[in-house]
Amino acid sequence: MSGAGRRVPLGRIVGVHGVQGAVRLESWTEPREQIFAYQPWWLVGSGGDTAVLDGVKGRTQGKSLIGLLPGVGDRDAAMAWVGSEIQIPRDALPAPAEGEYYWADLEGLEAVTLEGVMLGRVSHLIATGANDVLVVRDGERERLLPFVPGGCVQNVDLGSGRITVDWDPEF
């Protein structure tokens, strides 16, 4: 799957903060403050409205992240973007280290057993304390496969769009 032209979500606007147009953010980056390092942002509203913003500033305040959106100067203007997803172009992300993957690159890949049995496609991933989990769906069922390289996950081939897994298709 190529990253050209594709955008990946980094977080979402979850509320407003104060009366001067600041917003509260949910960040899916590690560390969470890293969301401000990626610019410009594509804000995609639930109704499909989109805005491209460059120069977003932000800070941590207690357990919250607060963002200042360029051109948004009051609470009402900020309120219009609550619920919007924050996206950036996939090619704006640095290349992952060898053996590491962005979740966005794994989503949509086929999951196939060592014997060649198609289990479905990766719908999304779940973070757990022990390891990440691939959620694989085939239309009829959903499987939760531990993302353990060398264990369940034998090979990830982004070029062919396939993850080879050591998994019993009956499980």
Contact 28, 11 (CB under 8 A): yes
Q: Are residues 130 and 154 in the same domain?
A: yes
Contact 167, 151 (CB under 8 A): no
Q: Are residues 75 and 125 in the same domain?
A: no
Confidence of residue 71 (pLDDT cuts 50, 70, 90): very high
Q: Are residues 69 and 133 in the same domain?
A: no
- Tokens at 71, concatenated: 């051109």
Return the CATH number at 113: 2.30.30.240
pLDDT digits (tens, 9 = 90+) for 104-134: 999 999 999 999 999 999 999 998 988 999 9
pLDDT digits (tens, 9 = 90+) for 6-53: 899 999 999 999 999 999 999 999 899 999 999 999 999 888 889 999
Contact 142, 123 (CB under 8 A): yes
Among the candidates 52, 67, 91, a domain finishes at 91
pTM of the model: 0.79
Residue 4 has pLDDT above 90, yes or no: no
β-sheet bridge partners, residue 110: 121, 162
State percent of the chain over pLDDT 70.
98
Q: Are residues 67 and 109 in the same domain?
A: no
Contact 153, 136 (CB under 8 A): no
**In which element (H, E) is residue 78 found?**
helix 75-79
Range of the domain at 116: 103-165
Our count of domains for the chain comes to 2
The answer to whether position 142 is within a domain reads yes
Q: Are residues 15 and 81 in the same domain?
A: yes
- The secondary structure of 135-149 as a DSSP string is EEE-SS-EEEEE--B
The answer to whether position 83 is within a domain reads yes
- Tokens at 11, concatenated: 């977080």
